[in-house]
Chains A and B, each alone.
Chain A
């Protein structure tokens, strides 16, 4: 009964480093999402995937890329991390209601 699993939970990067945030869901949902949450900003949509094989930009896509590897997995990649990407990242999946992962706390120094 895992729901949405995100890895890693914490990460510290140096400016310019790259990394991939992993997300997997076991609820057979078609749609998956990546959000970032900054203090006082709520959650902002980075990218989403309405179904396997499709991805689309959200509100704040610059500096990120995504891959919908299969129906279960949706990864978020930072090619060259910047301090402005310090945030908490949430993956979510939905069939009708949203289920969120536990989040990744990323610090870029």
Chain B
């Protein structure tokens, strides 16, 4: 079982809709969770971090964490064509000295 699992997609949503990206993980001791956005040919950039169960909102982005279900999600409200990118879920495993472990990413396309 992969440490971080993401649906590779592609996921397509119409402009203005809510995009929902999901991630599950296997290490129950993981404490820190991150969502990165990566445009084609570019490097990953951090968009959200979450450490506690519940929701964390930042503008149009909401990260959700459920440690009991080992599940992290990212919601993008009012999706824009500029949100079209690959979204990478990442975490810091227990005992890993802060190395990030990444999922394989979900490709999102927002259709005008």
Contacts and interface: CB of A to CB of B under 8 A. Distances in A.
| Binding partners A and B | yes
Nearest to A31: B98
Interface string B28-47: 00000010000000111110
Interface residues of B, number: 20
B43 A42 contact: no
B99 A41 contact: no
The 7 closest A-B pairs by CB, nearest first: A100-B43, A42-B104, A42-B102, A43-B102, A103-B43, A100-B44, A102-B43
Contacts of A44: 102
Interface string B71-98: 0000000000000000010000000011
B70 interface: no
B98 A42 contact: no
Interface stretch (A13-21, A68-76, A79-87, A90-98): A90-98
Looking at B43, B46, B88, B99, which has the most chain A CB atoms within 10 Å of its CB?
B43
Contact of B46 (A41, A48, A97): A97
Nearest to A101: B43
Given A43-B102, A100-B43, 10 more contacts: A31-B98, A42-B4, A44-B102, A45-B100, A48-B97, A94-B98, A98-B100, A100-B44, A101-B43, A102-B43
